[in-house]
């Protein structure tokens, strides 16, 4: 019993030390930092948003957030220059894909941050589904 | 009654999947010139009844999953073929496929990880200066981390009326640093800085870095 408690205590100490180390030295290698999410209500209050649509072309053609530019991993080279041209200092950039379960918006946002070093890049919570539902109310 | 319901729920919750995948995670390496990466998840029906795979749901529209058929007899094996579109993907990408069956077992999550060998990394891909602010230089890091062969030459093509550029070799054929300085930031403009790289066997590749005054 005493040995078990001793092992448990040691494991706890190691866990605390490991947590402290990672907190101080940033994220663990191979682990990518997640992109901040912005709820639709908060995004709607912003005046200078650059919307980026990461869904497939046919979805974008069927409907998109007014003013949104397409930016997808598969057509990055063709679409990226227009995004740069539209962006203005002080803009918040919000990327969306179909819903929370798609991962393209996160991938696009991550690459955008790497490519531009823009400070305010977000993923829309709920994606296009949230927008489509929200705009009906 | 309550106890019976509890036991039933417990049994459903603990139901062991009859469809067992050899590897629930598959790692694939692809080239940046590939349009898609493919993975095969082999499985077997380890139960004593035929099982039907009722749903395969990829986490992204960029991934597709396919089966030759959906019903598998006891002891029978099969392959779930997955394809991920990777045009424009750099480095690592991971998608999941959720597989549901009609035997009451909980859904199983398959992980499809792809590493796309990236010939060149240009960091950053866009540079910005504030209009009317002080002109300063910015550095662009050019690397060829996963090219099988070192670059033979790296050439910079930029508008000399707008930009001064200076290329420094950090590690021949592998790492370079490009210093970009706008001549004036009095007005807004965008210029493309083309990085032309020649590889002995791959040939010439062009990458663009966008210099902007905003």
Cα–Cα nearest to B69, from B43, B92, B95? B43
Give dist(CA B214, CA B210) in Å, integer: 12
Q: Check whether B87 has a pLDDT greater than 90.
A: no
**Residues from chain B contacting residue A88 (CB–CB below 8 Å):** 214
Q: Nearest CA of chain B to the CA of A135: how many Å?
A: 24
| B177 DSSP β-pair partners | B141, B168
pLDDT at A22: 38
Give dist(CA B177, CA A9) in Å, integer: 50
Residues of chain A with pLDDT under 50: 8, 10-12, 14-32
**Closest CB to B85 among A74, A87, A98:** A74
Indicate the average pLDDT of chain B.
90
CB contact under 8 A, B128 and A116: yes
Q: How many Cβ atoms from other residues are within 10 Å of residue A3's Cβ? A: 7
CB contact under 8 A, B124 and A114: yes
Q: Does B210 touch chain A (CB under 8 A)?
A: yes
Q: Is residue B34 very low, low, confident or very high in pLDDT (cuts 50, 70, 90)?
A: confident
Q: Quick: pLDDT tens for B96-129.
A: 999 999 999 999 999 999 998 888 999 999 999 9
Contacts for B182 with CB less than 8 Å, ≥ 6 apart = B129, B135, B162, B163, B164, B211, B213
Give dist(CA B136, CA B183) in Å, integer: 9
Q: Nearest CA of chain A to the CA of B127: how many Å?
A: 7
Cα–Cα nearest to B210, from A46, A118, A94, A74? A118
CB contact under 8 A, B88 and A56: no
**Residues from chain B contacting residue A73 (CB–CB below 8 Å):** 62, 86-89
- pTM greater than 0.90: no
Q: Does B89 touch chain A (CB under 8 A)?
A: yes
Cα–Cα nearest to B193, from B118, B97, B122, B94? B122
Q: What are phi and psi of A116, to 5 degrees?
A: -115, -20
**Closest CB to B123 among A97, A102, A114:** A114
**Residues from chain A contacting residue B128 (CB–CB below 8 Å):** 89, 116
ipTM of this complex: 0.72
**Residues from chain A contacting residue B88 (CB–CB below 8 Å):** 72-77
pLDDT at A94: 97
Contacts for A32 with CB less than 8 Å, ≥ 6 apart = A110
The distance from CA B120 to its chain's CA centroid, rounded to whole angstroms, is 15
pLDDT at A34: 81
CB A87 within 8 A of CB A71: no
Closest residue of A to B87, CA-based?
A74
Q: Is residue B192 very low, low, confident or very high in pLDDT (cuts 50, 70, 90)?
A: very high
């Amino acid at each position: 019993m005493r040995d078990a408690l001793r092992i448990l205590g040691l494991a706890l100490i190691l866990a605390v030390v490991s947590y402290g180390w990672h907190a101080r030295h940033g994220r663990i290698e191979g682990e990518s930092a997640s992109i901040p999410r912005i709820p639709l209500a908060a995004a709607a209050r912003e005046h200078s948003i650059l919307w980026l649509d990461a869904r497939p072309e046919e979805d974008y053609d069927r409907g998109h957030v007014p003013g949104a530019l397409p930016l997808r991993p598969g057509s990055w080279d063709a679409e990226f220059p227009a995004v740069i041209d539209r962006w203005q200092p002080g803009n918040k950039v919000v990327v969306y894909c179909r819903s929370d379960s798609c991962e393209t918006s996160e991938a696009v946002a991550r690459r955008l941050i790497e490519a531009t070093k823009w400070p305010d890049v977000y993923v829309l919570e709920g994606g296009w589904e949230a927008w489509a539902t929200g705009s009906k109310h | 009654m309550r106890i019976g319901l509890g036991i039933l729920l417990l049994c459903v919750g603990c139901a062991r999947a009859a469809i067992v995948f050899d590897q629930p995670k598959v790692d694939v390496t692809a080239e940046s010139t590939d349009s898609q990466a493919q993975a095969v998840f082999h499985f077997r029906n380890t139960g004593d009844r035929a099982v039907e795979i009722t749903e395969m749901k990829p986490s992204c529209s960029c991934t597709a999953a396919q089966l030759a058929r959906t019903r598998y007899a006891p002891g029978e094996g099969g392959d779930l073929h997955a394809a991920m579109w990777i045009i424009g993907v750099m480095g690592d990408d991971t998608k999941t496929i959720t597989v549901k069956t009609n035997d009451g077992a909980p859904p199983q999550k398959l992980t499809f990880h792809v590493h796309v060998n990236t010939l060149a990394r240009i960091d950053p891909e866009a540079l910005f200066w504030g209009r009317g602010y002080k002109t300063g230089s910015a550095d662009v890091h050019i690397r060829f981390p996963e090219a099988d062969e070192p670059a033979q030459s790296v050439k910079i093509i930029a508008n000399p009326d707008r930009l001064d550029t200076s290329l420094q070799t950090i590690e021949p054929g592998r790492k370079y640093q490009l210093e970009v300085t706008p001549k004036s930031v009095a007005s807004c403009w965008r210029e493309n800085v083309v990085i032309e790289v020649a590889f002995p066997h791959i040939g010439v590749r062009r990458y663009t870095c966008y210099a902007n005054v905003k």
